[in-house]
Amino acid sequence: MTFYVDGGTRLRCVLPFKAVPTELQLLRKTVRSTLGRWGVLAVADETELIVTELATNVIKHVGEGAPATLVLEPRDDRIRVELHDKGHTAPALGSGGCDEECGRGLHLLSAMSLGWGTLLTATGKAVWCEISLEHARHCVKVQRAAALLDEYRRVVGVGSVVVPTYPVLEESVTDIIADLLHWLAVQGGDPDDILDRAQMHFEAEREAA
C-alpha cells in the first residue's frame, strides 16, 4: 500500500473538533470518508468505534465542549490514531471488567489495536493507538487489483490525482472492465459469458473466505 503524495510527503489527516456529543457523528463520517480515500475501508468500522470511545472519554474526563484534535496517519501496515486534548491526566486501564469505572474505551483500544499509549504534550496529552492493516494488505487478490488499477490510471493519464475519491476509482474500475470486454470481443469471445463466469468465481471465493 502506498500512502504518499507527490514529493514523498506522508499522508496525514488532522481534524480539530469540540468534544460534544453532536460532533461525534460528523467525526465518524469524516473518518470513514478519509479511510475510503486512502483505500482502507476494511478498518473503517473499528476505527470509527475507537475514535468514538476516545472522544467520549474527552467529554467525560476533560469536559464537554473541550477543544480536541483527531489525527489519522497511515503507515505501511497500520493506521495510527491520535486524539489530542488539553487534559493532563494520563488514562489507565483498571483491573476489573469492561465497565464504565475502568474505562470502556481503553479496553476497546487494548483489544482492537496493535498497541496504545499516552503522550504528554506541551498543552495536554495525546492518546494514541495503531490499527493493523495486515488483513487488507496481504489479500493477494486485492493487491493485484490495486496494482492493475494504478497502472491503468497511469496509462490513460489520470494518475496525477494523488488520492482519488471512491467514485473516481469506481469509474476507473468500470472503464477497466469495459476495455477488457472490448478486447475479448475482438478475440471472438463472449463478454456476457465471461461476466457470468467472473461473477460466479467472485461469489464462490467470497463465500469461502
Could you tell me if 129 and 151 lie in one domain? Answer: no
Query: Which CATH number belongs to the domain containing residue 108 in this structure?
Result: 3.30.565.10
- As a dihedral over the C-alpha atoms of residue 36, residue 41, residue 45, residue 46, rounded to 10 degrees, the angle is -110
Q: Which of 119, 33, 46 is nearest to 79 (CA)?
A: 46
> Which pLDDT value is given to residue 101?
44
Does 148 lie in the same domain as 123? no
**pLDDT at position 143, please?**
67
Listed in sequence order, the residues at least 6 apart from 109 whose beta carbon sits closer than 8 Å to its beta carbon are: 50, 53, 54, 116, 127, 129
* Number of domains comprising the chain: 2
Confidence of residue 100 (pLDDT cuts 50, 70, 90): low
Residues 127 and 150 in one domain: no
- How far apart CA 50 and CA 129 sit, in angstroms, is 9
On whether both 159 and 122 belong to a single domain, the answer is: no
Examine the pLDDT at 5 and tell me if it is beyond 80. Answer: no
pTM of the full predicted structure? 0.62
Decide which of 104, 133, 162 is a domain's last residue.
133
Residue where a domain stops, chosen among 99, 133, 167: 133
Q: Is 186 exposed, middle or buried (0-12, 13-18, 19+ CB in 10 A)?
A: exposed
Structural domain that includes position 17: 6-133
Provide the β-strand partners of residue 73.
80
Does residue 1 sit within a domain? no
User: Which of 16-30, 35-49, 177-191 bottoms out in mean pLDDT, i.e. has the lowest?
Assistant: 35-49
Whole-number Å distance between alpha carbons of 74 and 10: 8
Which of 133, 159, 189 delimits the end of a domain?
Answer: 133
Taking residues 56-84, what's their average pLDDT? 92
pLDDT computed for residue 201 by the predictor? 87
Tell me if 91 sits within 8 A of 118, measured CB to CB: yes
CB 119 within 8 A of CB 112: no
Residue 123 sits in the same domain as residue 176: no
Q: What percentage of the chain exceeds 90 in pLDDT?
A: 46
Whether residue 153 is predicted with pLDDT greater than 60 in this model: the reply is: yes
Write the pLDDT tens digit of every residue in 24-44. Answer: 999 999 999 998 888 788 888
In a shared domain, residues 113 and 152: no
pLDDT of residue 29: 94
| Residue of higher predicted confidence among 171 and 163 | 171
Alpha carbon 83 to chain centroid distance?
A: 16
Range 155-182 average pLDDT: 80
Distance CA 151, CA 146 (A): 9
Does any domain span residue 89? yes
**94/80 Cα distance (integer angstroms):** 24
Q: Does residue 127 sit in the same domain as residue 153?
A: no
CB-based contacts of 125: which residues, under 8 Å, 6+ apart? Answer: 84, 85, 87, 88, 89, 90, 118, 119
